Structure 1
Amino acid sequence: MADKKHEFQMEMTCEGCAGAAQRVLGKLEGVSNVETSVADQRVLVTSNLSSDILLETLKKTGKACSYIGTK
């Protein structure tokens, strides 16, 4: 399966929140890139994994998050 860029909305108040998203997603095999924006409260994930797997992983940060779509 080819990599897709998935966009998520995630409640982030600081770089620590962004770092948490990068840490949990970085542990997944199949994730090639993670970009975060605290100002926009967005997480962009380049991966060959399903959006459901990525969303469940992001929820492990304890922050409210939702799937927006692919870019």
Structure 2
Amino acid sequence: LPKHEFEVAMTCEGCSGAVTRILTKLPDVKFEIDLPKKLVWIESDRDVESLTDTLKKCGKEVKYNGTK
């Protein structure tokens, strides 16, 4: 599966918790969050647009950095 890197404007545990809750609802998705670096890595075969839209549901600014 491709591993996509996103920059999400998370500032605290609450922010990363919101991202975790949103991503946990998606089937077949593995993810890691690096709060200090404001990065989220998502392993999924979903398209980038749907992953970006999903991440935006937490109300934070989201930037796609590409696959790693």
Identical amino acids, percent of aligned pairs: 46
SS of 2:6's equivalent? Answer: strand
Q: What 5-or-longer segments of structure 2 have no aligned partner?
A: none
Report the Cα distance in structure 2 between the residues aligned to 1:17 and 1:34, rounded to whole angstroms. 15
* Deviation at residue 44 of structure 1 after TM alignment: 0.4
Q: Deviations over 1:4-54 (max 9, x none)?
A: 1100000011111111111111111231x1111111010001111111110
Partner of 2:53: 56
Report the Cα distance in structure 2 between the residues aligned to 1:54 and 1:25, rounded to whole angstroms. 9
Contact kept? 1:30, 1:49, Cα under 8 Å: no
Q: Give the TM-score of the pair, scaled to structure 2.
A: 0.92
Pairing 1:14–2:12 present: yes
Q: Which has the higher strand share?
A: 1
**After the TM superposition, which parts of structure 1 deviate over 4 Å for at least 4 consecutive aligned residues?**
none
Q: What 5-or-longer segments of structure 1 have no aligned partner?
A: none
Aligned length, in residue pairs: 68
Q: Map of 1:1-71 to 2, 5 A cutoff?
A: 3-31=1-29, 33-71=30-68
Q: CA RMSD in A?
A: 0.9
